[in-house]
C-alpha cells in the first residue's frame, strides 16, 4: 500500500522551540467562423477567475465582519502559537505564497473560519476543545484547505455577482461606487457561505482530506483532524449550545469520519505512525489557560 510521505518531520524540533444543467449543444452548420470565435471569447471572458489581489481585497472585508461580530481574543501567547503553526502548515498547502493571517475569536462557540485571501480565524471555544498539537494542526490545516481550493470564492461565483466584467480595485482607497457596491454584495455572499448556511459537504470533505495530508507532511499524526471530529460525533444529533453553529454548518461528524476512513485506507496509513504531542499541548495550556 502507498504510504503517506513523512516529510517535514525534521522541522518539529525547530517548531517546538517556536511554539514553546447539462451543456447546450450547437450545430456548426448554423454558425459561421466569426460567430464561433465570438462565442469562444465570451466563454473565456465569463470564466475569468477572481485574481489573488481581488480575493485578498474581498477577504479583508469578510475578515473585518467576522472580527467585528465575534470580537478578537488578544492573547499574545496563543496568537503567536497559531500563527507559527498555521504559517508553517501553509508552506505545505497548494497556495504557499499567500500571506496568511491567523487570529482568535473571542467566543465560546466551537468553530473556525477561513475568509478568502488567507484570513483564518479559530475560536476560543475551539482552542478549549482540541486536545493535542496534532488536533490543532489538523483544524488549522482544514481551514488552509478551504483557502487552497478557493471554496468560498467558488460559492460566490455561483451567485452570479461575479460577472464577466466584474473587478475590484486592489487598493481600498481606489474603489469607485460600483466596485464598493459589488464588494459589499460579495461580502454578504461570503458571510452566508461561512457563517449562515456553511459550505457544501463536498468542500468540507475535501478540506478534511487536505487537513490529514498536510498535517502529515508537516510531521504530525494525520489522524489529528479525525480524533477531533470523533469527539463531536456523540453530539451530532443533539449538539450542545457551543456546538450548534459548527454542526449546523458542517456535515455530520459520522459522515466526515467515514470519508477520512476512505483516505486512510487508500493511503495505507495507520493511526499513531506520527506524533501528535498531547503532553506538550497540555503543558502549554497549563501555562497559558484559555479562559
Taking the CA atoms of 122, 51, 93 and 267 in sequence, report the sign of the dihedral they define.
positive
Q: Return the closest-CA partner of residue 90 out of 125, 59, 64, 114.
A: 114
pLDDT of residue 170: 65
CB 215 within 8 A of CB 134: yes
d(CA 23, CA 25): 6
d(CA 178, CA 56): 18
Q: Give tens-digit pLDDT for 50-59.
A: 899 999 999 9
Strand 101-105 and strand 119-123: the pairing is parallel
The x, y and z cell numbers of residue 180, run together, are: 464598493
pLDDT < 50 regions, the chain = 1-14, 16-47
Question: Angle at the Cα of 101 (from 97 to 105), degrees rounded to 5?
Answer: 155
Q: Return the closest-CA partner of residue 256 out of 228, 219, 214, 276.
A: 228
In the numeric block, the cell 477561513 is attached to: 114
pLDDT of residue 74: 95
pLDDT of residue 163: 72
The x, y and z cell numbers of residue 38, run together, are: 465570438
Query: What is the number of alpha carbons within 13 Å of residue 247 lying toward its C-beta?
Result: 20
| 3-class SS of residue 252 | coil
**H or E stretch at 122:** strand 119-123
Beta-carbon contacts of 56 under 8 Å, excluding residues fewer than 6 positions away, are 98, 116, 117, 118
**H or E stretch at 115:** strand 112-115
Work out the end-to-end distance of the chain between its first and last CA atoms, rounded to an integer number of angstroms: 44
| 3-class SS of residue 43 | helix
d(CA 285, CA 67): 24
Beta bridge partners of 112: 122
CB 145 within 8 A of CB 202: no
d(CA 172, CA 22): 39
pLDDT of residue 174: 75
pLDDT of residue 175: 75
Give the burial string for 187-222 (b: 16+ CB within 10 Å, else e).
bbbbbebbbeebbeeebbbbbbbbbbbbbbbbbbbb
Q: Which long-range contacts (CB under 8 A, 24 or more apart) does 253-256 make?
A: 253/229, 255/201, 255/205, 256/204, 256/205, 256/208, 256/229
d(CA 82, CA 102): 7
Amino acid at each position: 500500500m502507498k504510504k503517506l510521505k513523512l516529510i517535514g518531520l525534521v522541522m518539529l524540533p525547530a517548531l517546538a522551540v517556536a511554539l514553546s444543467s447539462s451543456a447546450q449543444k450547437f450545430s456548426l452548420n448554423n454558425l459561421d467562423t466569426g460567430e464561433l470565435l465570438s462565442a469562444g471569447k465570451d466563454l473565456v471572458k465569463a470564466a475569468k477567475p477572481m485574481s489573488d489581489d481581488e480575493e485578498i481585497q474581498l477577504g479583508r472585508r469578510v475578515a473585518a465582519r467576522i472580527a467585528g461580530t465575534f470580537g478578537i481574543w488578544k492573547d499574545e501567547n496563543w496568537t503567536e502559537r497559531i500563527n507559527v503553526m498555521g504559517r508553517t502548515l501553509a508552506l505545505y498547502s497548494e497556495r504557499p505564497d499567500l500571506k496568511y493571517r491567523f487570529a482568535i475569536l473571542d467566543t465560546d462557540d466551537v468553530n473556525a473560519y477561513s475568509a478568502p485571501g488567507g484570513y483564518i480565524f479559530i475560536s476560543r471555544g475551539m482552542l478549549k476543545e482540541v486536545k493535542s498539537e496534532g488536533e490543532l494542526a489538523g483544524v488549522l490545516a482544514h481551514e488552509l484547505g478551504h483557502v487552497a481550493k478557493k471554496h468560498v470564492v467558488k460559492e460566490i461565483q455561483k451567485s452570479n455577482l461575479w460577472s464577466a466584467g466584474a473587478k475590484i480595485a486592489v487598493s481600498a482607497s481606489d474603489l469607485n461606487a460600483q466596485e464598493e457596491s459589488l464588494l459589499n454584495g460579495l461580502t454578504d455572499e461570503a458571510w452566508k457561505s461561512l457563517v449562515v448556511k456553511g459550505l457544501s459537504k463536498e468542500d468540507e470533505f475535501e478540506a478534511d482530506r487536505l487537513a490529514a495530508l498536510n498535517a502529515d507532511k508537516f510531521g504530525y499524526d494525520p489522524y489529528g483532524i479525525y480524533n477531533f471530529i470523533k469527539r463531536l460525533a456523540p453530539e451530532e444529533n443533539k449538539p450542545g449550545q457551543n456546538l450548534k453553529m459548527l454542526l449546523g454548518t458542517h456535515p455530520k461528524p459520522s459522515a466526515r469520519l467515514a470519508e477520512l476512513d476512505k483516505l486512510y485506507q487508500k493511503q495505507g496509513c495507520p493511526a499513531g505512525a506520527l506524533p501528535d504531542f498531547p503532553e506538550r499541548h497540555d503543558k502549554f495550556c497549563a501555562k497559558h489557560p484559555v479562559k
